[in-house]
Amino acid sequence: MLKKSLIALATGLALTTGALAQDKIDIVFIGKNTGNPYFDSLTKGFVEACEKIACNFEFVAPATAEATSQIPFIEAQVQRGVDVIAISPNSPDALNQVFDAARAKGIIVMTVNGDITGNESHRDLTILPTDFTKVGADQIEMVGSLIGYEGEIAILSATTEAPDQNFWIKGMNEAIKDPKYAKMKLVATVYGDDQPEKSTSEMEALMSNFPDLKGVIAPTTVGIAAAAQVVQSRGVADKVKVTGLGLPSEMRDFVKDGTVTAFQLWSPYNEGWLAAHLAVDLKAGKAKNEVGSTFEVPNLGTITINAGNSINTQSALTTFNAENIDQFDF
Amino acid sequence: MSAAETTPPAALGRGAAAPRALWHVILVRPEAMTLALLILGVIIASQLSPFFLDINYILRSFTLSAEFAIVALVLTLVIIAGEIDLSPAANMALSTCLFAWAQASGIPMPIAIAIGLLAGLAMGALNAFMVIALQLPSIIVTIGTLTLYRGLAQIIAGDKSIRMPDWFIGIDKVLILGIPATVVIFTAFALVLGLILAGTIFGRQIYQIGTNEVAARYAGIRTRRIKLVLFLLMGLVAAVAGMLTASRLGSVRYDLGLGGELQMVLMAMLGGTYIFGGRGTILGTFLAAWLLVVVSTGMTVANLLPAIQLTVLGVLLIVAIIATNLIYSRTQR
Q: Which domains occur in chain A, in start order? A: 24-129+268-314 (3.40.50.2300), 132-265 (3.40.50.2300)
Element (H, E) at B226: helix B223-249
> Would you tell me which residues 148-177 of chain B have a C-beta closer than 8 angstroms to some C-beta of chain A?
159-161, 163, 170
Nearest to B157 by CA among B236, B103, B232, B113: B103
Q: Do A63 and B253 touch (CB under 8 A)?
A: no
- Cross-strand partners of A156: A190
Spatial distance between the Cα atoms of A308 and A124, rounded to a whole number of angstroms: 9
Residue B231: CB partners within 8 Å, gap ≥ 6? B78, B83, B85, B124, B125, B127, B128, B131, B132
Spatial distance between the Cα atoms of A197 and A205, rounded to a whole number of angstroms: 12
Spatial distance between the Cα atoms of A297 and A292, rounded to a whole number of angstroms: 16
**Other Cβ atoms closer than 10 A to A184:** 21
Q: Do B305 and A72 touch (CB under 8 A)?
A: no
Q: Do B258 and A66 touch (CB under 8 A)?
A: yes
CA distance to A88, A99, A278, B54, per residue, from A27 (Å): 14, 15, 11, 22
Closest residue in B to A63 (Cα–Cα): B306
The question of ipTM being above 0.85 is answered as: no
Residues B252 and B161 sit within 8 Å (Cβ to Cβ): yes
Q: What are the backbone angles phi and psi of residue A310, rounded to the nearest 5°?
A: -120, 140
- Cross-strand partners of A316: none
In order along its 330 residues, chain A shows pLDDT tens digits of: 666 665 555 555 544 444 444 578 999 999 999 888 889 889 999 999 999 998 999 999 998 888 888 999 999 999 999 999 999 999 888 888 899 999 999 999 999 998 898 888 999 999 998 888 889 999 999 999 999 999 999 999 999 889 999 999 999 999 999 999 999 999 999 999 999 999 999 999 999 999 999 999 999 999 999 999 999 999 998 899 999 999 998 999 999 998 999 999 988 888 999 999 999 998 888 888 888 888 888 888 888 888 888 888 887 888 898 888 888 878
Give the CA radius of gyration of chain A. 22
DSSP conformation class of A111: E
Q: Which of B249, B296, B305 sits opposite A68 (nearest CB)?
A: B249
Residues A223 and A201 sit within 8 Å (Cβ to Cβ): no
Beta-strand relationship, A108-112 and A84-87: parallel
Say if A161 is an interface residue toward chain B (CB within 8 Å): yes
Spatial distance between the Cα atoms of A169 and A186, rounded to a whole number of angstroms: 11
Residues A228 and A251 sit within 8 Å (Cβ to Cβ): yes
- The predicted-structure confidence for B13-60, as pLDDT tens digits, reads as follows 666 667 778 887 777 788 888 999 999 999 999 999 888 999 999 999
Spatial distance between the Cα atoms of A164 and A116, rounded to a whole number of angstroms: 8
- Helices A96-104, A71-80: axis angle to 10 degrees equals 0
Closest residue in A to B251 (Cα–Cα): A94
Spatial distance between the Cα atoms of B271 and A101, rounded to a whole number of angstroms: 34
Q: Taken in order A303, A306, A309, A314, is the CA torsion positive or negative?
A: negative
Spatial distance between the Cα atoms of B14 and A282, rounded to a whole number of angstroms: 82
Closest residue in B to A71 (Cα–Cα): B64
Spatial distance between the Cα atoms of B331 and B29, rounded to a whole number of angstroms: 9
Measured in whole angstroms, the distance separating CA A67 from the mean position of its chain's CA atoms is: 17
CA distance to A43, A50, A107, per residue, from A47 (Å): 6, 5, 20
* pTM of the complete model: 0.82
Q: Do A72 and B296 touch (CB under 8 A)?
A: yes
